[in-house]
Amino acid sequence: MAARTPELDPAALPLGLAPRTVFVTGKGGVGKSTVAAALALAWRDAGARTLLVELEGQASAAALLSPKKIGYEPVPLGEHLCGIRITMAEALREYVRLRLKVKLVADRLVGNPIIDQFAQAAPGFRDLLILGKLWWLATEKDSRGHRKWDAIVVDSPATGHGLGLLGMAGTIARMFPVGPIAAQAKAVDEYVRDAARVGIVLVALPEELPVTETLELREELASRGIDVAAEVLNGLLIDRFTGAESKRVEGLLDDAGTSLDPGVRHALETVVWEHTRCSDQAAERERLEAGIGHGVCVLPHMFVPQLGREHVASLARWLAPGGQDVLLAQLAGATDGPAAAAAVHAAGGAS
């Protein structure tokens, strides 16, 4: 960890969010890990000391930023940016060690297959341990009495399981109203319910079913009193063709019938397909924003076979206010065809 404290730039905050703990969640495969890595980078770039968290069973977010292997102790992934991987077994070992203050007992207890099986079989217990660790990290101070982490970004499991995780501290606090577990569960529950300290970032794709599911999920979260701090619509295509251009190409295809060279036909069909796809995505974005009642943050689809660190760095820049402004302007009226898409990609690659 770097000794010098970075300076927070309020104008550069990604998603317009002050640093806090966020659970990046959404349906399977929508880009949760990618957005978590990009958000961690963007917060760090805005001057926040940032911790990217992977949970057991989820792997990949930290690997998008650095080849370093991460574990239960924070590992630097860059300046003012660390990664950590929280496993149930390590969290249990640490908890027992802190409570019993005897390392030997902790190691024996955690290595014991019966205790391990109990912990695995009691999901509430497991979730409380993980939340407890996050709460600990969020409140941890350095030697000068400053909080160690301004931002904690959790690459969370696909929704469903993630919801259970967040509600668990409250459930346990109610199950055990007195005693040491109750005290911790209560502190953790208060942390999870404090919108200034903890929020959800929902990731969605601009397609019919994912948008519908995201709207349902938001309602469910609201009914449980869990704050959604921001929504990210990932994978938007930037239209390279105007409506008029697409119509003209459609006309050419109709007029030419079967006389066109197959390669040329394919290229022209791609123009029409891409424009139609962009229009469909715009409609889904509108439906999502209407359902939520405000605008969402957008991220472009990157045309690469596999996302590398430089692409995640681009996505981080798109998440920052300057990048969002460029992107939203292009989505609002990419009337200058390829030049508009080129501008978006160039801006994404600029440092």
Ligand X SMILES: Nc1ncnc2c1ncn2[C@@H]1O[C@H](COP(=O)(O)OP(=O)(O)OP(=O)(O)O)[C@@H](O)[C@H]1O
d(CA 44, CA 81): 6
Q: Does 305 bind ligand X (CB under 6 A)?
A: no
d(CA 351, CA 331): 22
- Interacting stretch for ligand X, rule CB under 6 A, among 29-37, 71-79, 116-124, 225-233? 29-37
Choose from Mg ion, ligand X, none: what does 31 bind? Cβ within 5-8 Å by kind: ligand X
Q: Where are the alpha helices (DSSP H) in the chain?
A: 32-45, 88-100, 103-111, 113-121, 123-139, 161-175, 180-193, 208-223, 243-256, 262-292, 309-319, 321-332, 338-349
d(CA 61, CA 40): 10
Q: Does 162 bind ligand X (CB under 6 A)?
A: no
Spatial contact of 89 and 80, defined as CB atoms under 8 Å apart: no
Nearest to 20 by CA among 170, 132, 147: 147
Q: Interface residues for Mg ion in 139-158 (CB under 5 A)?
A: none
Spatial contact of 96 and 106, defined as CB atoms under 8 Å apart: yes
In the complex with ligand X, the residue whose CB is nearer, 29 or 243, is 29
Of 25, 33, 314, 324, the one binding Mg ion by CB under 5 A: 33
Structure tokens at 16: 């317009």
* Longest CA pairwise span in the chain (Å): 82
Binding mask 191-230 for ligand X (x = CB under 6 A): ----------------------------------------
CB of 206 to ligand X, least distance (A): 11
Choose from ligand X, Mg ion, none: what does 30 bind? Cβ within 5-8 Å by kind: ligand X
Q: Does 234 bind ligand X (CB under 6 A)?
A: yes
In the complex with Mg ion, the residue whose CB is nearer, 33 or 50, is 33
d(CA 288, CA 280): 12
In the complex with ligand X, the residue whose CB is nearer, 158 or 343, is 158
Of 307, 321, 326, 345, the one binding ligand X by CB under 6 A: 307
Bin 178: left if φ > 0, else alpha if -120 < ψ < 50, else beta: beta
In the complex with ligand X, the residue whose CB is nearer, 15 or 249, is 15
CB of 337 to Mg ion, least distance (A): 35
Residues making contact with ligand X (CB under 6 A): 28-34, 60, 158, 234-235, 299, 301-302, 307
Site residues for Mg ion per CB under 5 A: 32-33
